Chains A and B, each alone.
Chain A
Amino acid sequence: MLTILLDGVAYGMLLFVLAAGLSVTLGLMNFINLAHGAFAMVGGYVTALMMNRAGVPFLATLPAAFLIPAILGVALERTLYRRLYGASPLDQVLFTIGLVLVAMPIADYLLGDEAQQVNLPAWLDGRIEVHGVGIGVYRLFIIVVCGVIAATLQTFLVKTRFGAQLRAAVDDARVAEGLGINVDRIFAIAFAVGSGLAGLGGALAADVVGGIDPSFPVKFLVTFLIVVTVGGSNGILGALFGALMLGVLDVAGKYYIPSIGAFIIYGVMVVTLIVHPQGLFARGDGR
């Protein structure tokens, strides 16, 4: 059923954009940021609020959904996160869980706990038929947009100087510093982009997952972690592949064997990790 395949690809693409930032911080910067979902929530809220309260059209809100979490990310990174780059994983876990626990009630207090809905513009509603295969317009939109994002990120990482500097900084920060690369600034930018992507993902996902509510960060934390783990820590392509695989398997599994339900993604993850403990696309040095 090609429709199901396309649905799965769309879901996977969405997961990719949401988790890409986490892949950056976790895989490339070796920092466990469990508060990643909070940035996605912020992005989702930005879009929902701009549309519902200020009447801003959907597409116009997307840049803001990227920028505002990105700025928030940089602010937090400069002030709080960077103190913990060298800290033990336990401290990072504790700290980021604390951040999430702080963020959720703030959202609840300011915006209430009802899910804020993103109501898509008419041109994104409905379905179209392409060679006899039906697909929702919005899902197609997601595939295209996220595909473009993935391509951009990959080109950026591989073909630009900044990308090379980032990869150098990740491989060995001290040597990179010695070569004159401003590692601090690079990490800050990477973190900002990661958070921004999360926010954009949150905005795009809002329609599919039933709106943005204060519990969004924890609802999807496990899913993000699974994507990053399965994909492995070797940058963008790994996360993309992992996300797509999970998306397709999850959707197909639920279609063909509805009673399997949630089992699929956990099962896939465990099996993948048994065979490839580093994830599917791991870095050579086993980090």
Chain B
Amino acid sequence: MSGAEVPATMGRLAAHLQRRARWRWPEIVFWLAVLAAILAAPSRAAIINEVLIAGLFALSLDLILGLTGILSLGHAAFLGLGAYAAAILASKGLADPTLGLFVGAAVAALVGLLTAPLLLRGADLTRLMVTLGVSLMLGELANRNGWLTGGTDGLNFSIAPVLGLFPIDFTGQRNAALYSFAVLFILFAIARRLAQSPFGLALAAIRENRLRAGALGIATSRRIVAIYTVSAAYAGAAGALLAQTTQIVSLDLFDFHRSADVMLMLIIGGAGYLYGGLIGAAAFIVLRDVISAATPEYWEFWIGLALVVLVLAGRERIREAPRRLIALFAPRTARRGVA
């Protein structure tokens, strides 16, 4: 390219990125709808809260799985760390939620930073197992140090009102959901910005082909460590929210099934475009709740069946169905609506 063309290309690139960065109306409708659901159905606040927190957790996984292509079976480690950090803080008298949120995210981020180098070498399976191993070891550590973590009994504690004004304990169910919503929205907006920045593009390059990205001059290792730390922070925040809005923590937060569940949620909703985790979380939790009410003993069977069918039918084809439906009635909307 000649010297004169470079600024022009950069200009077009910047314009393109800016266009992509604008919030589209379906997104705005989505967030308003979620907010409306919280306000309109206070009796469902507890399950909505659970969905929002799971959505944040899935979002954190999307940052490494969907954006960067790193497989992890141990993300529950950060969920647990954030939750226990916030819980221990609250039981020792420092019960302000905002403080607990930051501390939870920070603790998780620190551990993420320390363990990120383990992910740099090796194949997918290695990463899956290392992350799993770390989360299981943390679970064992928590079990052994019952004086701090309450061991298998877990910790019960009370939480102060958010910003000193809005109680989020049993009397403030709706406030709890709103608190989770606020945190989720803010973190989502930041993640969205991140994904569409040059940093995000670099991550996409790493996901597609790490070797080639390195050859292009992208410092892949540093980027991977950076996004893993951010992802850990997000997961830690989700854990802190979970602890604070339920006022309990127990060892099952570090369990393998938590990591597996969040991976399922993300895969169901679709990885890579950030909304997948939220949708998958909602779908998984609501579906599980509905089926479990009908058959408390055998609901796993139906979920498993749904998963098998989902994969065999092709996740793409199922997700395309609503779009094709819309295309019949509003072709222009359908064409524009690609993330």
Contacts and interface: CB of A to CB of B under 8 A. Distances in A.
Interface of A: 26, 32, 80, 83-84, 87, 89-91, 93-95, 97-106, 108-109, 218, 221-222, 225-226, 228-229, 233, 259, 261-263, 266-267, 269-270, 273-274, 277-279, 286-287
Contacts of B130: 269-270, 273-274
Contacts of B300: 101, 104-105
Contacts of A274: 118, 130
A267 B137 contact: yes
Interface of B: 65, 71, 118, 121-126, 128-130, 132-134, 136-137, 140, 144, 256-257, 260, 263-264, 267-268, 271, 297-298, 300-301, 303-308, 310-312, 315
Contacts of B304: 97-103, 105
Contacts of B308: 80, 95, 98-99, 102
A259 B144 CA distance: 9
A17 to B, nearest CB: 20
7 contacts: A93-B263, A97-B264, A98-B311, A102-B308, A228-B125, A267-B133, A278-B122
A99 B307 CA distance: 8
Given A226-B129, A226-B133, A262 B256 contact: no
Given A94-B310, A98-B311, A278-B122, A105 B301 contact: yes
A94 B267 contact: yes
Contacts of B305: 98, 101-102
Contacts of B297: 105, 108
Nearest to B271: A90
Contact of B301 (A80, A106, A222, A277): A106
A106 B256 CA distance: 22
Contacts of B118: 270, 273-274
Contacts of B132: 222, 225
Contacts of A262: 136, 140
A273 to B, nearest CB: 5
Nearest to A275: B121
B121 A105 contact: no
B307 A95 contact: yes
A229 B129 contact: yes
B129 A277 contact: no
Nearest to B266: A90
Query: Top 10 A-B pairs ranked by shortest CB distance?
Result: A101-B304, A277-B122, A98-B307, A105-B301, A102-B304, A98-B308, A277-B121, A229-B129, A95-B311, A270-B133
A80 B144 CA distance: 43
Nearest to B121: A277
B140 A266 contact: yes
Nearest to A233: B125
Given A91-B315, A101-B301, A222 B125 contact: no
B288 to A, nearest CB: 11
Contacts of A228: 125
